[in-house]
Chains A and B, each alone.
Chain A
Amino acid sequence: MQKANKHTISFITLSVLLILCFFLNISLGSISIPNKEIINVLFGSAKNLSWQYIIIDYRLPKAFTAIIVGSGLGISGLMMQTLFRNPLAGPFVLGITSGASLGVAIVTMGASLLGGVMVGVLASKWSIVIAATLGSFLVLLTVLIVSTKVRDSMAILIIGLMFGSISAAVVNVLSYFSSAEELQQYFFWGFGSLGNLSWNELLILFALYSLGILLSLGTIKTLNTLLLGENYAKSLGLNIKHSRLLIITSTSLLAGTITAFTGPIAFIGLAIPHITRQVFNTSNHKTLLPAVFLFGAIVMLICDSIAQLPTSDYTLPINAITSLIGAPVVIWLLIRKRKMMF
C-alpha cells in the first residue's frame, strides 16, 4: 500500500506540473502579453482583440497539439519497447516516419516530375498532411501484413527498419532531381512544427489520437504479460498475433497521425518511456501508461516553450529542440542510475 501512496503523490505532482507548463506555454511567445490579460482571454473577457486572437487562435491550439504529440508519441514508444523487448525501439521503428517522409517527398519534390499543372494542387498544406498519412499508413499496412506471417517480433522490427532504408533511398533519388525550392519545402516539413494547426485540424487530430489512446488502454494487460517474453505470454493464454495487431494498430494511429500533422518529432517516443521507468521505478504498465502520458505532455510543452525563444521573433525547429533538451536528460539519468531499466 505504501507504494500505491507514493505513486499517487507522484501523479498529483505531475498533473499540477502539467497545468503549470500549459500556462507557461501559452504565456510565452514573440509578443509578451501580461498574465492577467491571458486569464481574461481564457475566461472570455478580453479587452485587447489582437491579444485575444493570438491566444485563442495560435497559442491555445499549439499548446493542445504539444500535449497530444508528447503523450501520443510517448505512449506509442512505450508500447513498441515492450512489444519488441528492445529499449531502443520507438514509435518510428515500424517505418512510420520514413513512410510519411516518402509521402511528403513525393508531393513536394515529385510534383514537378508529375507535370507543371499538378504543382499548385499538390503543394498545398492539406496535401502534405494527406500524403504523410497515406505514406505512413501504407508502410504500416505492409508491416502489419508481414507481421501476421512472421512468428518472431524481432523480424518485424528488422522489416520496419528495411522499409525505412528503402523510403530514405527513394527520398534521396527524388531530392537529386528536385529544385532548391522544392527541397526547402521538404526540409521545412522535416523540422517539425506544432504551430500550424487550426482548430478544425486539431479536432481531426484529436479524434484519431483519442481512438489510439483508447486502444492503448486495452493493451495494458497484454503489455504486462509480454514482460515475461512471448513463450510465457502464450502459456498464460495470450493470443500473440492478435495482441501484436492491436498494439501496432494503436501505435500507427497515434504516431502516424501525429507525424502527418506536425512532421517528424524525434526523441520523445524513445526517451519518455525511459525517463518514466527511471522515475517511477516500475515496469507495470498500469502505472507506466498514465505516467508516460503526463511526462510526454510536460516535456513537449517545455520544449515548445523553449523553441519559441520567448520575446524574439524566431521559432526554432521543434524536432531539433526535443533532441537537444531531451537527449542530455536521458544520458544524465542513465549515468546517475548506472542502469538501463526495462
Chain B
Amino acid sequence: MKTNKSHTILKTKNLSIGYTSKKEETIIASNINIELKKGELVGLIGANGVGKSTLLKTLTKVQKALQGHVFINDKDLLKYNAIDLAKVLSLVLTEQISSKNLSVLELVALGRQPYTNWIGNLSKNDTTIVNEALNLTNIKDLKHKKCFELSDGQLQKVMISRALAQDTDLIILDEPTTHLDMYHKAYILKLLQKLAKETNKTILFSSHEIDLAIQLCDKLIVMSNGHVVSDTSTNLISKGTFATLFPKDLIIFNEKTASFKVKKE
C-alpha cells in the first residue's frame, strides 16, 4: 500500500468558485491552485461566510466551477460519472442521516453501495473492508447498536467509518467537529490524522478548530477575502497568514502559542 507518497490525489488549476444566477456571476474566490498528495491530512480554515462550503461543494461536484478545473487522480472531475466518482471520493456531511433506525453495521456497510450488486448484497471482500473500517475507528463494540442510541461523538465516528468503507483515495469532511465537546473535537481530528497515516488516504476537512488543525494537519488551506493560500502550518505562521483571517478588533493571533487570544482592553 505504501506507494509513491508524492502521488497527487486532488489538484485544482486556476479554479474560480462562486454562484451564477440568471444575470450575474458572484465570484467568491478565484485563482485557486491547491494540490493534495496521497496520505495527507489537510485542514480547510477560514472565517464564517468566506466560502469554505462553496469550495468543498465545487471540489465534490455538487456545484459547478465558474472557471478552471478540478482533477482527482489526474482526471478532470467533470469526466467522472456518478459511480466512478463514488469510488474515488467519499463524504462526511454536516446533515443528519434520514433514518437513525439503522444499526451501526448496516450504516457502515452502506458505504459499499458503489461496489455491490443490484440488490446490495455484500461479498466476502465487502465484509472484510467493512470490518476493517469498524476496527480503524474503534467502533466494533457499537456494531449492533442503533444510530439513535449513539452520542454525537460516536455517530461522527460511525460516519467516518462509513466513508472509510467506501474505500476511496480521498475523503472530504464538512466541519466534522461541530456539536462536539473539546475532548471529542481533538479525538476526531487525531483519529483523522491516524487514518491518513495508516490507510494512506488523503483526508480534507473544513473546521473552525484552528489551533487543533495547526497542530495536527500536514497542510492547511486558508481562505480569506477571496484569497486561498495552501502551505504547511509552520510556513503559514511565519508568513503571518493567520493574522489576516479575522478582523483585528477582537482577537489576535499569537505566533508563539499558535493560537488566537482575546484582545485585552
Determine the distance from Cα of A237 to Cα of B98 in the docked complex, in whole angstroms: 17
Say yes or no: is A220 at the interface (Cβ < 8 Å to chain B): yes
Minimal Cβ-Cβ distance residue in B for A239: B82
Which residue of A217, A224, A342 is within 8 Å of B110 (Cβ)? A224
Which residue of A221, A231, A237 is within 8 Å of B118 (Cβ)? A221
Say yes or no: is B99 at the interface (Cβ < 8 Å to chain A): yes
Cβ contacts under 8 Å, B120 to chain A: 220-221, 224, 286
Minimal Cβ-Cβ distance residue in A for B60: A235
Contact B101 A342, beta carbon cutoff 8 Å: yes
Cβ contacts under 8 Å, A226 to chain B: 98
Determine the distance from Cα of A224 to Cα of B89 in the docked complex, in whole angstroms: 20
Q: Mark A78-107, 1 if CB is under 8 A from B, else 0.
A: 000010010000000000000000000000
Say yes or no: is B191 at the interface (Cβ < 8 Å to chain A): no
Tally of contact residues, B, Cβ under 8 A: 31
Contact A231 B93, beta carbon cutoff 8 Å: yes
Contact A238 B96, beta carbon cutoff 8 Å: no
Contact A283 B85, beta carbon cutoff 8 Å: no
Contact A237 B93, beta carbon cutoff 8 Å: no
Which residue of B87, B97, B114, B119 is within 8 Å of A227 (Cβ)? B97
Contact B113 A236, beta carbon cutoff 8 Å: yes
Q: Would you list which residues of chain B between 73 and 87 have a CB under 8 Å from chain A? A: 82-87
Say yes or no: is A277 at the interface (Cβ < 8 Å to chain B): yes
Contact A221 B119, beta carbon cutoff 8 Å: yes
Which residue of B82, B102, B111, B114 is within 8 Å of A283 (Cβ)? B102
Determine the distance from Cα of A4 to Cα of B155 in the docked complex, in whole angstroms: 25
Say yes or no: is A125 at the interface (Cβ < 8 Å to chain B): no
Tally of contact residues, A, Cβ under 8 A: 27
Say yes or no: is B233 at the interface (Cβ < 8 Å to chain A): no
Determine the distance from Cα of A227 to Cα of B166 in the docked complex, in whole angstroms: 16
Given known contacts A228-B97, A234-B82, A283-B101, A218 and B113 CB-to-CB distance under 8 angstroms: no
Cβ contacts under 8 Å, A218 to chain B: 118
Minimal Cβ-Cβ distance residue in A for B80: A237
Given known contacts A237-B83, A237-B86, A286-B119, A227 and B102 CB-to-CB distance under 8 angstroms: yes
User: In whole Å, how far is B24's beta carbon from the nearest beta carbon of chain A?
Assistant: 21
Given known contacts A221-B120, A236-B110, A286-B119, A229 and B83 CB-to-CB distance under 8 angstroms: no
Say yes or no: is A225 at the interface (Cβ < 8 Å to chain B): yes
Q: Mark A227-269, 1 if CB is under 8 A from B, else 0.
A: 1110110111111000000000000000000000000000000
Cβ contacts under 8 Å, B110 to chain A: 224-225, 227-228, 236
What's the count of A-B pairs with C-beta under 8 Å?
A: 80
User: In whole Å, how far is B245's beta carbon from the nearest beta carbon of chain A?
Assistant: 28
Contact B101 A282, beta carbon cutoff 8 Å: yes
Determine the distance from Cα of A237 to Cα of B91 in the docked complex, in whole angstroms: 12
Which residue of A229, A237, A239 is within 8 Å of B97 (Cβ)? A229
Given known contacts A221-B120, A232-B93, A238 and B113 CB-to-CB distance under 8 angstroms: yes
Minimal Cβ-Cβ distance residue in B for A229: B98
Say yes or no: is A284 at the interface (Cβ < 8 Å to chain B): yes
Say yes or no: is B137 at the interface (Cβ < 8 Å to chain A): no
Contact B114 A236, beta carbon cutoff 8 Å: yes
Determine the distance from Cα of A229 to Cα of B99 in the docked complex, in whole angstroms: 8
Determine the distance from Cα of A85 to Cα of B60 in the docked complex, in whole angstroms: 24
Minimal Cβ-Cβ distance residue in A for B100: A342
Say yes or no: is A341 at the interface (Cβ < 8 Å to chain B): yes
- Chain A CB count within 10 A is highest, among B93, B99, B119, for B99
Q: Would you list which residues of chain B between 38 and 84 have a CB under 8 Å from chain A? A: 60, 62, 82-84
Minimal Cβ-Cβ distance residue in A for B101: A283
Q: Mark B110-126, 1 if CB is under 8 A from A, else 0.
A: 11011010111000000
Q: Would you list which residues of chain B between 120 and 174 have a CB under 8 Å from chain A? A: 120, 166
Cβ contacts under 8 Å, B93 to chain A: 231-232, 235
User: In whole Å, how far is A215's beta carbon from the nearest beta carbon of chain B?
Assistant: 13
Given known contacts A220-B120, A225-B110, A237-B86, A283 and B99 CB-to-CB distance under 8 angstroms: yes
Contact A229 B82, beta carbon cutoff 8 Å: no
Say yes or no: is B106 at the interface (Cβ < 8 Å to chain A): yes
Cβ contacts under 8 Å, B95 to chain A: 229, 231-232
Cβ contacts under 8 Å, B97 to chain A: 227-229, 232
- Chain B CB count within 10 A is highest, among A82, A218, A234, A239, for A234
Cβ contacts under 8 Å, A286 to chain B: 119-120
Minimal Cβ-Cβ distance residue in A for B168: A235
Say yes or no: is B90 at the interface (Cβ < 8 Å to chain A): yes
Contact A228 B98, beta carbon cutoff 8 Å: yes
Minimal Cβ-Cβ distance residue in A for B91: A235
Determine the distance from Cα of A238 to Cα of B97 in the docked complex, in whole angstroms: 16
Contact A235 B90, beta carbon cutoff 8 Å: yes
Cβ contacts under 8 Å, B62 to chain A: 231, 234
Interface residues of chain A, those whose CB is within 8 Å of chain B, are 82, 85, 217-218, 220-221, 224-229, 231-232, 234-239, 277, 282-284, 286, 341-342
Interface residues of chain B, those whose CB is within 8 Å of chain A, are 60, 62, 82-87, 89-91, 93, 95-102, 106-107, 110-111, 113-114, 116, 118-120, 166
